[in-house]
Chains A and B, each alone.
Chain A
């Protein structure tokens, strides 16, 4: 009993938490880190100050709303723009149904898309002109002054604050897409019977998109009139979808035991990987016509698609080959032992394991392909970047290159960043590296 009395009370170690502790741990833990932090703070202060003064006082943001239509769809005829919206509605329905059925990642993705759509639905683009005409102090300007300004200069200010007209009339298609997305989500919730139909729908959505965009009947829209973000997305999608099977075939060919197939695949992969994409695209536009029989000519967009696909297939093949090498030989032997043929071994045993382990590399390849679509502007297509350049060719907007390039860069950034984010999520979902 006496022993107990001797026991001292040991205080727990000092585990202070809170912002101060965090600051000391992460910013001021050593003398050189303190100096670095100070330098970084000064640097950030000047950068932010410069950026803010430029964004709010010097930049002319009117250039974006004035050209938003052409940035999105290029020279696509305005009276047929409903065809694009029909495609978007179709995709919304499919996305909504998939989100309802599968939940998980698709659900997250559709939430992200829906919230971006909602922002564009609710914020009138004219607000940019409005803020530009009032100046950076618009937040502090009394309402009467603004009203007075609207009355005195009705021509310069076209702020349409009538939200009802904006949302239900001007943006009725966007509203429709969002409503369809939400409605189909609730319709499709946990209806697993629909699975096959939705997958089939996704497969059919591609030809449907092409047909719908091209239009039918009296005045079809030729592919030369496709442009802007629309063309960029189409090129990227076609490239991604088409290069995948081609790349897998090439990778299998390169690892084949038949020397003829192996050598042809290896030569193809190494040649394509050794030259820049721009040579392939130029070959598409300059050399392909020579190799075509007679007067038969492919159109520009198709040639760019072929070039992008052939190019990225070689890179895809190398990524897939990395995955194939990571699959233990025992898996192939076991598959052969149970009597599977070569195609079955590959399809059901090797490829699923191989592809799962190289998801980051494959998505990295897709991101590179998405960025590379901007090169088609050099061979004369009007993709998102090509349109940006053509806007800058207009003397009226010549001085606004920073605004335009920043806007276009932001669009590319959002797509690339989203792709890499979702690849990390997919990886976590599939449990790569867990077992």
Chain B
């Protein structure tokens, strides 16, 4: 009897309540999803749109101003893919430029020179407190106010600035390129032979008096040989091949003024350029802060100890401070990269044909809002996950082995 009276009633039993609340929660979510789904079906039938994926194979019929090979008669799926590639292109370029500028200003903020320090601080504070969209529009307007084609600014016949964007000379494989490739292949084979021979010689020859256990393992001999014998061999063969090939290995095309503007060379379109400048400048301000706090996070005693054992100032940085700062810097740097990829969607506002802009055009033409938004979100998720997976791998590697290997 006594046991019964102390038994907790089920409505106060925590084990029961836990399960009960979760079931309630799940039922609530399912109900909400159901209501939304029925609303969606109603809404779609109101707009007269059928939900299916077959539209992706029909002809797109709109042009895309830049990107990989594409024709308006290609399918919507192809058009979408062009957008994805354009997004990846601008993101990678932005990440490279942003990281370089960011590291530069981050280190400049720690300079012992007061003036340099302040210039870097003003740069960082200005560009991270102004919305990115405004910055992109500003650069776009600035490029649009560059001189017309006939008054282009030309630097030493090679680089051209005008209202159509920026033109560089481009390199393409020339007639002698295949011959040179054979030389390169020969260089690789020769390098492998040299490495093996060198390593075998070092491993079995040399000091016979050493005990077996004192000998360095075979792999370390290979690494040593690769560093000191293979790389020079390969480089020598490559350079020799370059000069031995009679025809030009690379064809340089320079931008040339023709009737409708400059043709040839590599063209950075005004949209691409303004998005690239905007993204890299904005992100570099954040990266500079990440770098600064990462370097400052290395304990002061480490520097002092390094100086005490007599390292030079450059050695203190490269051997002690930076190897310890990099693992601190990488995680926040990753999130800046992810932000940059997501921010590249802002180029929709100035008409750079990236993923989002192409998706919007497809929506306007077909009305298939939901599938396209699903595809857009999935693409961004995949890009973000890939980037963070790569950076996590890099982070694990450097925390495990250090920078040197």
Stretch at the interface among A97-105, A107-115, A169-177, A283-291: A283-291
**B315-358 interface code vs A (CB 8 A; 1 in, 0 out):** 00000000000000000000000000011011011000000100
B403 at the A interface (CB under 8 A):
no
A81 at the B interface (CB under 8 A):
no
Q: How far is the CA of A33 from the CA of B119 in the complex (A)?
A: 14
A416 at the B interface (CB under 8 A):
yes
Contacts of B299 in A (CB 8 A): none
Partner of B129, one of A27, A29, A33, A417: A417
**Mostly helix, strand, loop or mixed at chain B's interface?**
helix
Q: How far is the CA of A402 from the CA of B385 in the complex (A)?
A: 38
Within 8 A of A (CB), among B36-66: 36, 39-40, 42-44, 47
A46 at the B interface (CB under 8 A):
no
Q: Is the CB of A275 within 8 A of B381?
A: yes
Contacts of B342 in A (CB 8 A): 275-277
Partner of A290, one of B43, B119, B132, B141: B43
Q: Is the CB of A374 within 8 A of B113?
A: no
Contacts of A264 in B (CB 8 A): 25, 29
**A213-241 interface code vs B (CB 8 A; 1 in, 0 out):** 00000000000000000000000000000
Q: Is the CB of B29 within 8 A of A405?
A: no
Q: Is the CB of B112 within 8 A of A274?
A: no
Q: How far is the CA of A408 from the CA of B114 in the complex (A)?
A: 30
**A71-96 interface code vs B (CB 8 A; 1 in, 0 out):** 00000000000000000000000000
Contacts of B247 in A (CB 8 A): none
What is the number of residues of chain B that contact chain A, defined by CB distance less than 8 Å?
Answer: 52
Q: Is the CB of B369 within 8 A of A286?
A: yes
How many whole Å from A234's CB to the nearest CB in chain B? 17
A116 at the B interface (CB under 8 A):
no
**B116-139 interface code vs A (CB 8 A; 1 in, 0 out):** 100100000110011111100110
A347 at the B interface (CB under 8 A):
no
B384 at the A interface (CB under 8 A):
yes
How many whole Å from A230's CB to the nearest CB in chain B? 17
Q: Is the CB of A412 within 8 A of B130?
A: yes
**A339-377 interface code vs B (CB 8 A; 1 in, 0 out):** 000000000000000000000000000010001101101
Q: Is the CB of A26 within 8 A of B381?
A: no
Task: Given A278-B348, A287-B370, A290-B369, decide whether A405 and B115 contact each other with a Cβ distance below 8 A.
Answer: no
Q: Is the CB of B377 within 8 A of A275?
A: yes
B5 at the A interface (CB under 8 A):
no
How many whole Å from B249's CB to the nearest CB in chain A? 39
A409 at the B interface (CB under 8 A):
yes
Task: Given A29-B112, A291-B40, A389-B137, decide whether A279 and B131 contact each other with a Cβ distance below 8 A.
Answer: no
Q: Which 10 A-B pairs have the closest CB atoms?
A: A290-B43, A26-B114, A416-B129, A276-B342, A260-B22, A276-B345, A371-B131, A374-B131, A274-B381, A401-B141
Q: 5 additional contacts, CB 8 Å, given A33-B112, A290-B47, A420-B129? A: A33-B113, A274-B385, A275-B380, A276-B346, A412-B131
A-B contact pairs, 19 of them (CB 8 A): A40-B115, A44-B119, A258-B21, A258-B22, A258-B25, A259-B22, A261-B22, A261-B25, A264-B25, A274-B380, A275-B377, A279-B376, A286-B369, A287-B370, A287-B373, A290-B40, A385-B131, A385-B134, A412-B134
